[in-house]
Structure 1
Amino acid sequence: MDRLVRQRPRPVVRRATSLPAGFATCGEFGWRHQAHGVEIVHRLDAATISDSTMIAGLLPLVDLGVIAGQDAFEAAAVGVIRTSATTEARGWAAFYDNSLQELRSGDSPFSPIHRRARSLILGDSVLEVGSCFGFFALQCAEDGRQVQACDISAGAVDLLIGNSRRRGAPVHAVVGDATDLPFADDSVDTVTLIHLLEHLDEWAATTALTEALRVARLRVVVAVPYEENPSEHFGHLVRLSEADLRGWAGTVGHAGADYLEDHGGWLILTPPG
């Protein structure tokens, strides 16, 4: 999130009740090229903004080449959220509330992944590493678990803290690097890395797993997407398969590894000792 604030130039995003003339139409979104770059118009509002509707609106623009790269995609996404309501704060609140409702109801494409991850948690306490907006951490807190979260982005952590307080779902969120977790040894029952390792190179992925095993008492849960091509706009660096999961398991110390396939790949590790 901090990177998005510094990035220049970035797409200009605004909301309109109807798509104006001169814009190419793509669902609830429209776009046009200008001298300063691309201008995007959308019709999402506080009732309809969510992680899934925002992504569904932007992905066709990626396919068309209107948005290219992670920085432009994230800047456009943040722009859509900020302009979806009468104030930025209301836009973020609606984004969180609607996204969490969709994840709970099964209407989000990510619902099966979060449901599976929550089913794999052992114990009462959980740490989400690479939490981003923190939707998974918030669901775990609303399930009654003791939840911590960390992300490398201070902006994302601030958003999670604010919405955790607003929703009354306690999450202790801090800025932290997956390769150097700011948590003590054996301090959390389950550590999750949900759709994180595809963002990392080989050294960082192995180090992140080692760190997760250091912090976890009972279990480490890893989920990765299986893609034909890494999604550059999401910041995915590598194409992963079960062979990669098994390779990681072979390079870190653990007391057992299990593998699943459910909307991507899963690696469940038992910490040593």
Structure 2
Amino acid sequence: MTMVNAGTAAPDSQVVLVRAKTGAEQGFSASAQLLWRRDAGRVEIAHPFTEDTIADSVMVSSLSELVELGVLHGQDQFEDAAVQMIRSSADGDDAAWRAYYSNSVDELADGSSPFSPVHLRARSLIVGDDVLEVGCCFGFFALACARDGHSVRACDISPGAIDLLTRASASLELPVDAAVADARALPYPDNHVDTVTLIHLLEHLDDEDTTTAINEALRVARQRVVIAVPFEEEPTEHFGHLLQLTEVDLRRWAGKVDHGGADIFTDHGGWLVLTPRQ
């Protein structure tokens, strides 16, 4: 990042600096959980999180509030701030990422995360022994499936995300075979796993690519494809969402691909469950 002069930086070019609180802080504004201030073309954010408290839910909720306040702008700033927050929550990167993963997986499992209902429903829809999570991001769902006893593969287009998941899988002793891959061209043979999941992935793609990704999932799955999407009034920019989706879109997707059966329902968003044609 490059420092710019105060008063000349556009909001999306400001430098973002995130650190742990150091005690009495002066000159900061406060949100519910964070302190923040602007100074010389940058925004400085101080957080209270430690190895015991850092987790995906508090990271997302606290930074989303800064988006609502106009402190952070766009996906790049949100993700930059998120990584800095995690890394500054403990002494050393390894300890910080281990705590973040451990706490996040635990809160998703015990129901204390707002995203827990989506994970719970998705896990209930898995059939067979083998699972492939497409677009896994940090890989919390893949790790939860491994904890459930499934043989798990996971892929994402981000090499950084796959590296973090691979390290977390080893640290938590939850085996996940993670690989860099594009949902539109999966590097797996036909009928490779029992269930393929696309959990909150398709809203990140354009309309044409959603069909390609669904066809790829159907090609790789032996028994089931599980798709979940958020229903939003407008796409959430800082999460990188491109599409505003409704049940109509799920039905349209089901009508555009070749399959052996479709189930569409709502539960904390929309769900499309497809049976591959044998």
TM-score, normalisation: structure 1: 0.96
Q: 1:152 aligns with which of 150, 157, 168?
A: 157
Q: Secondary structure at the match of 2:101?
A: helix
Percent sequence identity is 58
Q: Secondary structure at the match of 2:79?
A: helix
8 Å contact 1:28–1:44 — kept in the other structure? Answer: no
**1:56-71 alignment runs, 5 A limit:** 56-71=61-76
Query: Structure 2 CA distance, aligned partners of 1:142 and 1:128?
Result: 14
Q: CA RMSD in A?
A: 1.2
Q: Secondary structure at the match of 2:90?
A: coil
Q: Secondary structure at the match of 1:161?
A: helix
Query: Structure 2 CA distance, aligned partners of 1:13 and 1:143?
Result: 35
Deviation at 1:19, TM superposition (A): 5.6
8 Å contact 1:130–1:193 — kept in the other structure? Answer: yes
| Cα distance, 1:43–1:207 mapped onto 2, change above 3 Å | same
8 Å contact 2:36–2:43 — kept in the other structure? Answer: yes
Gaps of 5+ in 1: 1-6
Deviation at 1:36, TM superposition (A): 3.4
Q: Secondary structure at the match of 1:32?
A: strand
Deviation at 1:89, TM superposition (A): 1.2
**1:247-266 alignment runs, 5 A limit:** 247-266=252-271
| Cα distance, 1:91–1:8 mapped onto 2, change above 3 Å | farther
1:217 match:
222
Please tell me whether residue 54 in structure 1 is matched to residue 59 in structure 2.
yes
8 Å contact 1:19–1:25 — kept in the other structure? Answer: no
| Cα distance, 1:19–1:212 mapped onto 2, change above 3 Å | farther
8 Å contact 2:14–2:43 — kept in the other structure? Answer: no
Q: 2:189 aligns with which of 184, 190, 209?
A: 184
1:30 match:
35
8 Å contact 1:10–1:75 — kept in the other structure? Answer: no
Q: Report the AA paired with residue 113 of structure 1.
A: V
Please tell me whether residue 271 in structure 1 is matched to residue 245 in structure 2.
no
Q: Secondary structure at the match of 2:171?
A: helix
Deviation at 1:17, TM superposition (A): 4.1
Q: 1:97 aligns with which of 102, 116, 132?
A: 102
Number of equivalenced pairs: 267
Q: Report the AA paired with residue 133 of structure 1.
A: F
1:72 match:
77
Gaps of 5+ in 2: 1-11
Q: Report the AA paired with residue 147 of structure 2.
A: E
Q: Secondary structure at the match of 1:203?
A: helix
| Cα distance, 1:188–1:19 mapped onto 2, change above 3 Å | farther
Q: Report the AA paired with residue 189 of structure 1.
A: D
Query: Structure 2 CA distance, aligned partners of 1:70 and 1:145?
Result: 33
2:233 match:
228
Query: Structure 2 CA distance, aligned partners of 1:151 and 1:34?
Result: 36
2:135 match:
130
2:8 match:
none
Please tell me whether residue 16 in structure 1 is matched to residue 21 in structure 2.
yes
Deviation at 1:236, TM superposition (A): 0.5
8 Å contact 1:19–1:42 — kept in the other structure? Answer: no
Q: Secondary structure at the match of 1:250?
A: helix
2:242 match:
237
